[in-house]
Structure 1
Amino acid sequence: MSAQTLLISLFEYKAWADQGLIAGLTRLGTLSSEVEYRTAVGIFNHAHIVDRIFGANLQCEKHTYSRTDSDDVPNLEDLFNAIRDMDRWYVQYVTHLRDADLMKAIAFSFTDGTPGQMSREEMLGHVVTHGGYHRGEIGRILTQLTGSSPRDTFTGFLHEVDPARSR
């Protein structure tokens, strides 16, 4: 399996897991206190902002963020639509990369102005793992409040999209 093939699969998994989390957060909004809701949505918003920052970095474009969070809890529908759009963008972006593109090192600035440099492959790996970390945080909130959280494993995704794997 090539790095590109794996990355495509990982970003399809990320989109699948984000969809599950969106469904869980929609239910959470009706079951939770304001504090838990704001915390969970704030974490998801942070993960989305980082996705957007690295999307800009991958394209060698400047982003407008000076921090990786916001003071306001975004409108849930707007946030969820933006997350879906960004997930689709990442799948399409990775689909069109060549090996040389993946290995290319890109200089960028972190939100605090500190210079950084990573290959596209490293940046893409960061986006996948960063999102998983924060989905886990939100999943923990969901589990505490409802007793369960959406499935969020790569193996679960692979077996759901390819049921033949379960034979």
Structure 2
Amino acid sequence: MTTKSKTIVDTVRMLARYRMWADQLTFDAVQALPPGEATRERPTLFKTMIGTLNHNLVIDLIWQAHLEGRDHGFKARNVVLHAELSDLWAAQQVVNQWYIDWSDRQSKDTLDEIVNFTFIGGEKAAMSRADILQHVVNHATYHRGWVAEMFFQVPARNPATDLPVFLKGDRA
């Protein structure tokens, strides 16, 4: 089996689409849980599935602002922007589509550009645009894992959102 060698542009575009796909599976699975499970408090940092998914949205919005060179306005990373799953999913789809559209406009040169930003804690830092996108996708994967762990507490089966499943094309 041979695979096509991907450029950084190809990889960034693929990762943005992977993110939308994985989030769709996760939100669909959370929606299908028995009533109250998404908001049931659990022994985790963001307290609930909704809290954890809100954290992902907040981080996405922060990095979107960094990529756009503007202030994001957040003072904390644990803000619940949307208490209802349907509202949260609608907002997440908007930002995920923004990242897809953004990735489609990038070139190798723009992805190599360094973005200077300030962490919420006040520390100055800099990353390339490509590294920022990779972080956004990786961060969401990490916290979808937290949600997956909470599925075991229901108990319920969480969806397989692994990158190889996406790349294989089993996207039923």
- Asked if these proteins are the same fold (TM beyond 0.5), I'd say yes
In 1, Cα distance between equivalents of 2:34 and 2:15? 28
State the partner residue of 1:147.
Answer: 156
Q: TM-score, normalised by structure 1?
A: 0.89
Distance in 1 (alpha carbons) for counterparts of 2:23 and 2:171: 19
How many residues in Structure 1 have an aligned counterpart in Structure 2? 163
Residues 8 and 95 in structure 1, CA contact (< 8 A), matched pair in contact too:
yes
Paired residue type of 2:19: K
**Which among 5, 22, 26 is matched to residue 27 of structure 2?**
22
Contact 1:31–1:145 (CA<8 Å) still a contact in 2? no
* Structure with greater helix share of residues: 1
Shift of 1:72: 7.0
Higher RCO structure (Cα 8 Å, ≥6 apart): 1
**Structure 1 residue matching 2:160: 3-state secondary structure:** coil
2:71 partner SS = coil
Distance in 1 (alpha carbons) for counterparts of 2:82 and 2:90: 15
Asked if structure 2 preserves the Cα contact closer than 8 Å seen for 1:24 and 1:142, the reply is no
Partner SS for 1:112: coil
Consecutive unaligned residues of structure 1, counting only runs of 5 or more, are none
- 1:8-157 matches, within 5 Å, as 8-28=13-33, 30=35, 32=37, 34-36=40-42, 39-70=48-79, 74-157=83-166
Identity %: 26
Provide the residue aligned with 1:7 in structure 2: 12
Q: CA RMSD in A?
A: 2.2
Match of 1:35, SS?
coil
